[in-house]
Amino acid sequence: MSAVPYNVRLSDGADSLIILDQRRLPLEEAYLELHTREELFDAIRSLAVRGAPAIGIAAGYGYYLCAREDADKPDFFSRMDDAERYLASARPTAVNLFRALARMRACLKRNALSERNELIAKLRLEAEAIQREDVGANVKISEAGLTLMQPGMGVLTHCNAGPLATSLYGTALGPILLAQERGYAPKVFADETRPLMQGARLTAYELNRAGVDVTLICDNMAGQVMREGRVQAVFIGCDRAAMNGDCANKIGSASLAVLAKHYSVPFYIFMPLTTADPDTPSGDGIRIEERASEEVTELFFRSRIAPDGIKVYNPAFDVVDHSLITAIVTEEGVLRPPFDVSLRDALERSRSGAGDRSRKE
């Protein structure tokens, strides 16, 4: 697969984090340079950087930058605990955020007795490893997903699970981009994804730029597209997967799954195994983030479209029941039901592979 520049990366001096500001797409490609924990928190919370894997990568680099900033403080380790809690509070649903921070904390503890400069260098290497492993996972997910596609196939997408949501190729969009490169000529219908329009602003932008035949539809048109036989599969990403296969993704995903079941359209989840949460048995244990009412009552906080004083319920995610999922595509291949078995087996294979790589290194 052809590469594109990372959307999340360290500056040349490794003293700040550079991110593509997704809030300004598709009209403007602008980058933010983040130096402080407050700036990183705001970038994650405000969706300047978004997508579960990309959030985890940003958090890893952010933890390193916090350590770099506080290296000479006498209460260094206490400040790092505070930094972890603060960054973890930016968004509650995407498990990659918490796993990346936990991994950075473990690196800190392993090297706690090292010279401070050496410790900071180890943290940077760990953050870079998180990103490098995400790239590798996305390549494998894309190749596995391609086995589910046929030339000219119609695919429905929801929200954004492309390069913008990861570090390079993407998850649910990865197979589509790979199919385009290899001459499959896929036809994609992209849900706009209310209320923040990630499908319209980001997925349509990425696919159109890659030359994919993409058609933008409103969310409530998905059933008609399925009824007309225009799509042969639904591809979506995932922000947290429970161990029974229940998957939390952008709000509207569960409705799509019900529609797909009715119209006998296969429904596929694409995710790296870092998105699986071994501590969550079922979707009932996934905390759903609720966001500001202005995301619903105003168009990008500029033009009001609802009456003043109206009550708003704005969950950012919903949970797709495992019974509605045809397969979960990961770097360990295409996982089929029962997911409580196949997902655990995949996690075990992944851990074993990581152990083998560690021993070789």
* Residue positions annotated with a catalytic role: 239
Contact 190, 160 (CB under 8 A): no
Q: What b/e string do you get for 188-211 counting C-beta neighbours within 10 Å, with b at 16 or more?
A: bbbbbbbbbbbbbbbbbbbbeebe
Give CA–CA dist 159/166, Å, rounded: 13
Residue partners of 122: CB distance under 8 A and separation at least 6 = 107, 110, 111, 114
User: Is 66 in contact with 120 (CB distance < 8 Å)?
Assistant: no
The single-letter DSSP state of residue 36 is S
Which residues contact residue 121 at a Cβ distance below 8 angstroms, ignoring those fewer than 6 apart?
none
Neighbours of 243 (CB within 10 A): 19
- Which residues have CB under 8 Å from 56's CB, separation 6+? 94, 96, 97, 99, 100, 130, 134, 274
Q: Does residue 218 contact residue 313 with C-beta atoms inside 8 Å?
A: no
CA distances from 196 to 8, 259, 297 (A): 21, 22, 11
